């Protein structure tokens, strides 16, 4: 066959089309591009009234699960389990609890252990993103009752994280799990006013959740004197075998006054994380939060021998969980999440 200029042009054109086609396929198979595609599929959230909204102004209620201490139970930060939480449980969010002091906490180790913990957070964010879950990065203060105590660590941590995740719509920052031990709202505000600008410099409208006094229960203090930023929510935590109608009444009043609240942690055990469970109390609390579109996250994703763990202590699996592998709390929450997500 004589190769004419016309044939050459056709061959060239075909090569170009094939090149583009294979380029797209390769890009699609490549992990990074896939993550990018997923990232774009998360609606950017903002705060309106008591709750979160998506770009179309529709209420978005996040319902999810918190890790136990990341350093303590790192085995549950795995790709398959996070996908299961989304696909099978019907959750749409996870929380990564990074303890600051207890059990190899972020602020108690050396430079290397901090680096390893950041790797774990990164891994959690990646798996959550791939699974289609919003993800809360929780600076889990507890024995360090005043967030000012480890403020310099918090500053550099949130600076790094917000820089890294600035383009991800699904990442939410929780500044201080549970202030306690006499830490007042003035202390917390002063801390939040240092950290929020650091995050906002990298990600100007990221959702930020701020803890409240007395183990994140005194929402009234935030209502009296809110922070001067948009897209800020205030933390409330409850454990239904301890916290009952009198506290529900207080929370309801605050919601009626339109304070944006996020329940970043709850359990149906006693506040110690152990003891008896109250399913009926848990239902009353979640009914209230459903009524106001408030998001909630159950604590915790582990098999620790305590009644607030979602997995039975006899179960050693880290994914592929069946309903029968779950604790009483786990079964109750699994059924509730599936029902809310419209799964049969
Ligand atoms: C508990 C864990 C428990 C651990 C303890 C101290 O369930 O295994 O020994 O912390 O690190 C909270 C805290 C949360 C607690 C939980 C239950 O935010 O860290 O976890 N709780 O006590 N506030 C109220 C209850």
Summarize pLDDT for 161-215 with one digit per residue, the tens. Answer: 999 999 999 999 999 999 999 999 999 999 999 999 999 999 999 999 999 999 9
Q: How far is the CA of 4 from the centre of ligand 1 (A)?
A: 77
178 is catalytic: yes
Q: How many Å is the Cα radius of gyration of the chain? A: 22
The residue behind tokens 């301890």 is: 242
Which H or E element spans position 23?
helix 5-29
Q: Ligand 1, atom 10: nearest CA belongs to which residue?
A: 273
CA of 34 relative to ligand 1 center, distance in Å? 36
Mean pLDDT of 134-156: 98
Percent of the residues in the chain that have a pLDDT greater than 70, as a whole number: 88
The C-alpha torsion from 178 through 49 and 338 to 315, rounded to 10°, is -10
What pLDDT, in 10s, does the model give residues 207-255?
999 999 999 999 999 999 999 999 999 999 999 999 999 999 999 999 9
Given the residues 39, 102, 178, 204, select the one marked as catalytic.
178
Residue nearest to atom 24 of ligand 1 (CA): 271
Res 20: pLDDT: 47
CA of 292 to the centre of ligand 1 (A): 26
| Cα of 41 from ligand 1 centre, angstroms | 34
**Residue 89 DSSP class:** I
- The chain-wide mean pLDDT, for the chain, equals 92
Q: Indicate which residue's Cα is closest to atom 20 of ligand 1.
A: 273
If you measure from the C-alpha of residue 204 to the centroid of ligand 1, how many angstroms do you get, rounded to a whole number? Answer: 32
Ligand 1 neighbours, Cβ below 6 Å, are: 102, 142, 177-178, 215, 237, 239, 265, 271-273, 299-300, 304, 306, 308
Sheet hosting strand 51-53, strand order edge to edge: 46-48, 51-53, 59-60
pLDDT of the residue at 200: 97
The residue whose CA has the least distance to atom 7 of ligand 1 is 273
Residue 40 binned pLDDT confidence (cut-offs 50, 70, 90): low
Task: In whole angstroms, give the CA distance from residue 188 to residue 22.
Answer: 53
Would you call 173 helix, strand, or coil by DSSP? Answer: strand
Task: Give how far the C-alpha of residue 104 lies from the chain's centroid of Cα atoms, to the nearest Å.
Answer: 21
Of 287, 297, 222, 231, nearest in space to 257 by CA: 222
Largest CA-CA distance found in the chain, in angstroms, rounded: 92
CA angle in degrees (0–180, nearest 5) for 191-153-97: 85
- 8 A C-beta contact, residue 289 and residue 296: yes
Probe residue for ligand 1, chosen from 211, 213, 299, 301 as the CB with the greatest number of ligand atoms within 8 Å: 299
Residue 203, token pair as written in the block: 């990600």
What pLDDT is recorded for position 103?
Answer: 87
Region 303-327: what's the mean pLDDT?
A: 98
Catalytic residue among 48, 116, 174, 265: 265
């Amino acid at each position: 066959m004589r190769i004419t200029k016309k044939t050459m042009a056709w061959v060239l054109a075909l090569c170009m089309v094939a090149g583009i086609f294979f380029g797209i396929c390769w890009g699609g198979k490549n992990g990074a591009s896939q993550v990018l595609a997923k990232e774009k599929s998360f609606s950017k959230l903002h705060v309106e009234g008591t709750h979160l909204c998506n770009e179309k102004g529709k209420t978005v209620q996040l319902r999810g699960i918190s890790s136990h201490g990341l350093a303590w139970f790192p085995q549950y930060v795995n790709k398959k389990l996070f996908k299961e939480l989304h696909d099978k449980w019907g959750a749409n969010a996870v929380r990564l609890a990074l303890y600051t002091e207890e059990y190899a906490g972020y602020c108690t180790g050396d430079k290397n252990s901090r680096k390893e913990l950041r790797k774990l957070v990164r891994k959690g964010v990646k798996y959550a993103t791939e699974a289609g879950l919003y993800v809360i990065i929780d600076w889990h203060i507890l024995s360090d009752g005043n967030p000012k105590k480890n403020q310099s660590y918090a500053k550099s941590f949130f600076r790094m994280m917000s820089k890294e995740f600035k383009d991800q719509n699904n990442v939410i920052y929780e500044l201080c799990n549970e202030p306690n031990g006499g830490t007042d709202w003035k202390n917390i505000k002063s801390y939040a006013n240092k950290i929020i600008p650091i995050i906002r410099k990298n990600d100007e409208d990221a959702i930020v959740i701020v803890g409240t006094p007395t183990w994140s229960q005194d929402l009234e203090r935030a209502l009296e004197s809110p922070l001067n930023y948009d897209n800020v929510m205030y933390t409330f935590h409850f454990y239904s075998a301890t916290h009952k109608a009198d506290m529900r009444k207080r929370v309801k009043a605050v919601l009626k006054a339109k304070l944006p609240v996020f329940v970043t942690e709850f359990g149906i055990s006693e506040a110690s994380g152990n003891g008896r469970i109250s399913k009926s109390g848990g239902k009353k609390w979640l009914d209230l939060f459903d009524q106001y579109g408030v998001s909630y996250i159950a604590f915790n994703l582990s098999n620790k021998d305590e009644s607030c763990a979602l997995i039975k202590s006899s179960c050693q699996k880290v994914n592929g969980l069946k309903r029968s592998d779950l604790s009483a709390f786990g079964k109750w929450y699994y059924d509730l999440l599936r029902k809310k997500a419209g799964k049969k």
